[in-house]
A and B are shown apart, each in its own frame.
Chain A
Amino acid sequence: MDLTYLKYKKILLVDDEKEILNMVSSFFKEYGFSEIRTAETVEQALTVLQEWKPDFAILDVMLPDGDGFSLFKRMRTFTLIPVLFLTARGEDEDRLTGLGLGADDYLVKPFLPKELLLRTGIILRRYYKGENPRVQLAGSQIDFERAEVLKEGEKISLTAKEYDILQALYRNAGRIVTIDQLCEAAWGENPYGYENSLMAHIRRIREKTEENPSKPVSLVTVKGLGYKLVLEG
């Protein structure tokens, strides 16, 4: 998929450490993101959010005039843009608080800039699908908006479970997703005993997406662990 359009998304960085702001800005700019603004306080951040209307925000938790969690709550009253918390507060309780509020991700300092960029890419890709939201596989395309697969000019509908499983695989495209994560995506928390049903659904998805379902190239099995969705392009 061509993700160039994401590079024009407007990103707001909020942190009380100027050096961190400079460093993160320089990374993003180096990797092609041109629309970046920074804020060092809650008030500054709210002003930028209301006036500049960014597409994505990276928030620190500890700020001189408040905390990132309360900033998140206040900004949710007027914008639904994706948010990633980038903070030195790495306790489980803090992470759960941040994610529990509805943040899209939580990254603890110290961090590798590349990891921040990758996580940002995943979030932006999930939120902003571009003009052509179809996912290109080797032998077919998936249209998540219509919940169907286009294969050899034919439209094949996906069932709800197949959709959930494919969504989970797509969100982690190129990475292995465990059997348990896929069962959780399809059947909810603590899905014990659904492994055989999952295998049946995977077989049907392959029949819909693969040119040769018995020799899959897009939905690959990683023996004993899970499955991986390989995208084209």
Chain B
Amino acid sequence: MDNVPKYVAASATAVAMTARPRAGKPDDRELVRDAQKGVTVAFEELVRRHQQRVTAVVGGILRRREDVEDVAQQVFLKAYVSIQRFDMRSAFSTWLYKIAVNECWDYLRKKKVRPLSYEADLSEEQARHVEQFVSADGHGDNPSERAELREIVERLLADLSEEDRVMLVLKEAQGFAVEEIGRMLNLNVNTVKVRLFRARRKLAKTYRRRLGAHFDKHENRKFGGT
């Protein structure tokens, strides 16, 4: 039993699995094959391995912390139900992230969550907060301050398409690679790069427009009047 993986040895329901001892840690493919045969502990191990990244994908799309875990759970439930249909042509993680992205779109559609769109300029105080956050590292460490900043940036993001918003947050906040984002959204890597870059420029322009005259002061200070 020494070389039997921990996930197998841990459960009495996987007695059959112990007859096939494996050296080292099983990779995702082996676990998927076992899960397809109905070994629930194999799926449990897959959940343990991918829960963090799936939660990051869901968090990046929903950006509402209270719903993130519930939707992530739904993602794994859907993956379990349809694991027989997974043909191993892509990595299990890619397949799982795609389920996560679709589940999030469904969730947003069902909840009819529309991005907040305020055309009015930000208040003087809000503009100051954002400006401080942008210029000074460390500003916004306070949770309530950060929540307010999040709401302001969410408003600024309303000018972008949902897909561009998702790409930006997954890249900048969740730290996903451009390749991973491309696979999740079925987009070519170069397309993701160009769209990301344009989305960033658009966001910066919106930021400048909303901050208006207040930003000019900041700009002059930052670039020494150039």
Q: Do A and B come from one complex?
A: no
